[in-house]
Structure 1
Amino acid sequence: MGSEASPSVTIHLTGFKKFHEVSENPTEIIVSKLKEYTAKKGLPKGVILGSCTVLETAGQGALPTLYQTLQSALSGNESESSTSRKTIWVHFGVNGHASSFAIEQQAVNEATFGFPDELGWQPHVLPIIPKNGGITHVRKTSLPVEEIREGLSKKGFEVMTSDNAGQFVCNYVYYHSLHFAEQNGTKSLFVHVPPFLVMDEETQMQFTLSLLEVLASLCQQT
């Protein structure tokens, strides 16, 4: 009975398809396989696994799917009878030069892509959401980034915190998600992962499950 009354968190995830010179994006595989993986391994206590969506690696081109899934998840929560339900969006992106995981603290209101996205768009010094102000405007996650890092480190993963989500689609999507989260009372987090050549698929799946566990634990404390 006690576990049934415990606060629960619904966690939705997104990843990206291939792009530029990244022919295999680990985040597409992680997100696509997560429901099957958790069916075998089990979900951490207090976690409800929501949608798992793979986005086009594009700025404006990814927005219709992104906002559709964000809004759909919000509508689903409104129908829940439990008042203790919390919603977190976790967005995964790959850093082709990384050797560890990175928890991103913030996104900047600037769209400047070093190369065209997968739909051919290459903005230069444009505000992502013009009504938010200039390109220096920053949105930060409301989740405790350092505590998340510590929790994952204790589980044996090499994790760092970062205040630079890059100058490509990752930052673009994260900024939109943080804006949506602020408006709708949800939470958003972006995590960069290394390529599978650096860290194998099974380790990254284990990391994802551990991330869900850490997030649920932190939510139950608040």
Structure 2
Amino acid sequence: MSEAAHTIEGWYTLHDFRTMDWQAWKAASDEERAEVLHTLEGFLHGWQDIEDQGKGSYGLYSIVGHKADLLFLHMRPTLKELNEIENEVNKSRLAQYLYPTRSYVSIVELGGYTGDPEKDPTVKSRLYPILSKDKHICFYPMNKKRQGNENWFMLPTEERIRMMKNHGAIGRKYAGKVQQIVTGSVGLDDWEWGVTLFAEDPLQFKKIVYEMRFDEVSARFGEFGDFLVGYGIPKEDLNRYFRI
């Protein structure tokens, strides 16, 4: 029999990708740019206060390539709080220069394929992670196939457990090199899961994803969306990023 895997959930998560209108930014006056940066600094300060209180986390990242320029990554206890953050940015002067490119709504998820996640001593830090502010980041959405004989959700529970244990063993080989946050999005967004990776060395993204391509779970059942990569922008680097 095929049964749904037991999962436990943590913070709701919003990946908010934006494109910068650099032509409009260059045309703005020095005073206007200073005011907009002051607004952004105010947002970052407020988000940091929330993080310091243990009520969420955030990160700001520069994205490499044409798919986006910036990623505002937020984690909060409720969807309402995520929406309030999104609306606050959209109503600010900052939004005159930043356009939504894509977004992803999900919730931090720990699955039970490799044991009872509630008995994991690291469960709290994994459900409510503090996001890296200065490492490289890689994000991609994914599904499990459900086509004909390659239907993940129709497999016997024991077979899914076996394959996920092998899949997880590959990830553990990269402990200390790659931090992974898996967020579930079934019923929340167009894909079933989002995977967010952090690393000092972005080459590790290629290595872990490539190695997992040869694992049965990915080779037989994995379907992947766009990959977006970039690096964190610490608060002290804001002026350098936006400098004309």
Which one has the bigger strand percentage?
2
Taking structure 2 as the reference length, the TM-score comes to: 0.28
Task: Output the TM-score relative to the length of structure 1.
Answer: 0.30
